[in-house]
Every structure is written in C-alpha cells, then in structure tokens.
Structure 1
Amino acid sequence: MDIFVKTSITIMLKHYFFAMALIVSSFWEVHAQINIGSFESPNIRDGAGMIRKGDVRRMEHNKTIFFYGEKDEARLEDLKKALKGAWDLNSLEFDHIRNFKKYERERNTAFITLEVSPVVKVNTNIGKEREVDCKVYLLLWVPKSRDRVPYARIELYPEHEFVKKLIKVPGDEDKKDLIYKEGKFYNDSPGLLSLYFRHVSKGLSIDDNITAPSLYDDWAREDSAGLGLLRNEILYVPDYVLIEEDLRDDTTQVRAAIDLFEDYPHRYEILKREQLSNLILEDVSHLNYVFVYVQSGEEKHFSIFNTKGEILFHEFEGNSFNLQENDIREMARSVGD
C-alpha cells in the first residue's frame, strides 16, 4: 500500500478514536442537579461516589467557608441570612474569593466554591474540539494533600447571554474569575440556594454510608406520598422556566405559561425570581412547593422541592434543551389526579 495512503488512514483513525473517546466520556459524565458524593463528575456506571461515615462525622466538626465574589456583594447580607438558616451540618462562614489562598493550609475546613466545566463538540472529520457551552456548579469539598475531595455538587443555570460571553474566555481560571465578577444565573437567588443547601446539609447528616446515585435511580426520583399532597397545594414556578432558547439563531423567547402547563391539572403560580425567593425565605409557617428547572450544558433537570429542602420529584434528560410540554405532562402524571 502506498505510504501516503497508509499515513492518511492512520491520521483518519486517530481522529476517529479521539472523537469517539470524547463522545464516550461525555456520555458517562452524567449527574443530577444536586449530587451528594465523592465524585466531582458523577457518571452512569458509578453514580456520585461513596462518602464514608467517618468522613461525614468529621465534616460535622469542621467549618465550611462559602466563597463569594463581586457579583454577590450587593446581596451579601441576604445571602448570608438565607444560607446560614438552611445549613445545619456545621458552622458556615463567608469570605471573598480573593482571600482564598490564605485558607489553603487550613485544617478542619471545607470550602464551597464556584467551578466551571467547558462543554465541547467534536468535528469527527478533523478530530478538532470546539467549545459550545459551559457547566457552572457549586462544589462542596475538602482539601487533601494537593488534591480535593468533593462532598456535593450543585448545578447552576447560567443566563443565556452570560454563557455566550463565558465560552469566549480561553482558560478555566479566567472563566472562574469572570463568573465570580459578573456571573448571572437563573437559579441562584438566596431562596433557591437555601433549598439546595438545606438538602445537602440534611443529606450529609444521615447515619448510614452515603451511596452512589443519590438523586436518581433509572434517571428519576420520586416521593409519591409527598407528591400526593401537592394535589391540594400551589406549585410555585419561577418565571425563567418560560424562557426558550432557539438553537438555530442563538436567541431566546418567552413562552406562554398556559401553553407549557396546559396538561398540569392542579394549581400553579408563576412568580418572578425575587418574589419566589422571598416566598421561600419568609413564608416559613406553611410548607410550600417549588418547581426548579436547570439547563446544565446539554443536560436538563427539572425537580419539585418542598421548602424543607426535600426533593419530591426529579427528572434528568441528556442531550436535551428547553422545558417541553411533555416534561410537564410527565410531572403531572407523577403528582396524580
């Protein structure tokens, strides 16, 4: 065989296997909106990873530091009040991300930081990657030697225009700097964050070992008894779920709630993010129910929380964009008539 042909075939095979490796790795890196476990990137095969009982008990005697940035300064007092009220695991403190280095050698300390994971697509003809999106998440972790041991991961939903800006920034550290300075997210109000923190705090306070897929079995988790109560209650929905991204021209539009929730037979109410946040934090005398939708890269999650931080329903879909009528229909079936 001609040496030129051999070389061409070799290059083509390298590009093919490179592309397949990236596709397979992206398939395995699948996770729920909130994962409690020892893997920063949970996957189908191994779930979220196991945390030993002894490590959980040590965590209860540690302190946790939540790092904020310029984007949080205007709402910092509200954020502190909301998160401290939801966090029962240990002492929760706050500091600016610019001060992070002074804690690097601190013992008996856990950190909550913003992290970023670029999403790439592969041109299988040339084996070249192209960044098309970014996953942004809060990570609870403990330093170990020069590594870090994750305990929980919370997916955030970056606003459309901010994602477009973020993917143009070349390095992960520069991306993180931008996130802390200018990050805009649909689901990071003090109220919604308090639900997530309450859930993680409770999840890490259990007596038994914490095992792998903490929020999904067969891609779904349901609390039938808790969902049944929702038939006679109002489901509160943040208004951002009505935003639909048009992937063809990279724009957004707002849908009518009556169309999206046409097949949901029970009461629901669309609230602005600030209104919903206030409802979660202020109406503590009544158990309220909150719908949460998160688009994380090419994965979407939709869940029902109650204001105790319990997840009554969660559904995951990979390679999927925008909340659809059939998603609401599926949720309605779980709630029941």
Structure 2
Amino acid sequence: IPKEGDTVSCVVDSTRRDGITKNHTSTHIINTSARSVLGSWVWQHSAFKEADHARLDITHHSALTDEDVLKIEQAANGIIESAIPVKIENFDRGTAEQKYGFRIYQGGVVPVKSVRIVSIGDLDIEACGGTHVANTSDVEQIKITRTKRIQDGVVRIEFVSGDGAKEFVKKKQVDSENKEKEEKLREQEKERRLEQRQLAKERIPVIAKSLLECKQGSVTVDDITMELAESGKANFCYSTSDNYDDVFHIGLGETLCKTDPKLVYCGLFEQGEKVRVIVYAGEDISKEKSAGEIVKSISQILGGAGGGSPKFAQGGGTDKSKKEDAIKNAKSMIIQ
C-alpha cells in the first residue's frame, strides 16, 4: 500500500474511458434532443454515466410516449450523423454567464471562478467538467433502452451509445427473431391441435360406439376409459387427454349419457394456464350423483371452482399436477 508522499504510476483504462466519454457526450445530445422534441421547459435534473450504460433525468410533466422516445432517439442520432465538432473552452464565470446565460448550468450551478464550457455547435452549450468526444460522429449511435417517470415532473431516460448501442440493436434483433420463431411454432402447434381436435370431433360417433360396446370390466379407446359397474350401479367414463377440447367432451358426454342413463362422463383437459372440467350425468344416475356436485369437488382439488345442474356441469382450476387426483376423487364419488 503506497504511503503518503509516495509517487505511483497509473494507467487509464482506455476501454472504460472511451465508453464513459461517449455516454457523457450522449447525455448532452439527448438533453438537447429531448428539449427540441418535448419543449423548452426540459432541463437536466440529474445524470449518471458508466462505461456500458447511462441515464439522464429531465424535467417533464408526464411519462414519455413511444412516439416521444422515437422522436428523441431520431433527433439524437441526427446530431451524430451531422458530425458536429464538440468544442471545449474555459471562461471566467461572469463572461460565460453573460455570453451564454444561466442555461449552461444544466447540472447545477458550479461554485468556481473559471467555467469549462462544452459546446455542440449552437445546439447545446453547458458548463461541464467531464470527458467528451471531439466530434458527435465519434459517438456512432445512441439507443434509448427505457424511460420512466420517477417522480412528479421528472422523467428518466436510460440509454446506451457506441458499441453498447450496437450490441443492444443486435440483441434486440436476435430477440425479435427468436420471438418470431416461437410465435410461428406456437401457431403451428395451435393449428396442429385444432386439426387434431376437429378430427376427434368427427370421430365422436365412432368412439362412442366402441365404448358402448363394452359389456363388462373396462376398455380404453383413444385415451378415453369406460369402466362398467355392477348391475344397477353407476358406470364411469373419463379422459384426461389434452387432445380433446370442450366441444369434444360436451359432444361425447351427451351422446354417451343419452344411450346409457346410468353413466357419468368426466373430461379433464388443459387450456392455457388452467385445467378445465366437464361432467355429464345420465337421466337416471343424475338423481343420485349430481354432475354439479362432482364438478364442484373436482374443481376444489384443482384449486378452482365450478358447478352446474345435476345433468351437466363445468369448472376447473390452475393446479395441473392434480389432474389424476381429481379423477380419483370423481371416481370415488360415483362408485360409492
């Protein structure tokens, strides 16, 4: 550890210095751009600059719209493209104030006799002690990454410049491409499911016929299980397959229960973030085993709610892990 009075050698981190330098000049560019877009009342409230990001807080009466942000960013990059020299001069305080006015104190009044003035043409003239590029073109590019209203009358603009802006644009493009691919895959999956469900709907008569041909025990047809009880007791048919939707379950349940008045049909399927339940009860069994009560019980297990009439009911919940528990509960209610 150096002692007081020792001479030490230091090296400037040129990469970090370059990033901060570009972000510092960018702060001035965004400040004047925001003023030109929003109005003359815009003033720098505070600012922060790092090598890879920066922010500028400005005085403005409301949150920025997407259109405001786009116009400010376009104005800022227009200044960069104009390749305006950035001039640095030193004046005594009185001379600077007489020549440029008090608007030079964007970051607050400087309590010194000599004032360092940074000028970007006649667009922005401020008292500033920070590092700056020699020409606005050296900034290369500015991208506003986020804006938010942080308090009454103050809006924060977060941004990147130079290589940071290029990386931001590249990442945004990659994210956009990935999002587009994911959306395309979702659409393809949606179309596949719709096609699959349409085919299943068309197969309702065939599936119903195959299930009703079962005379004893149990049988499974296309992920739909029929369980026959002893004579005089309720029969139970169910499915937890996500290949079927509400239209299919309503159609199949109604068909089966019309043919077998002692049958209870239960269909569980996932729809988005939820698990839906549809229950049909035949004419005879509905007097003893209410579809509404069965759905209410199942839905509670799934973390939701439901209900309906003795012959038809629907409901659901959000706990997808409890689908099998829900079916077991329905079965116990029906065969007891």
TMscore range, shorter length = under 0.3
Structure with the bigger percentage of helix: 2
Structure with greater contact order relative to length (CA < 8 Å, sep ≥ 6) = 1
Q: Mark the structure with the bigger radius of gyration.
A: 2
**When the two structures are superposed, what TM-score results if normalisation uses the length of structure 1?**
0.24
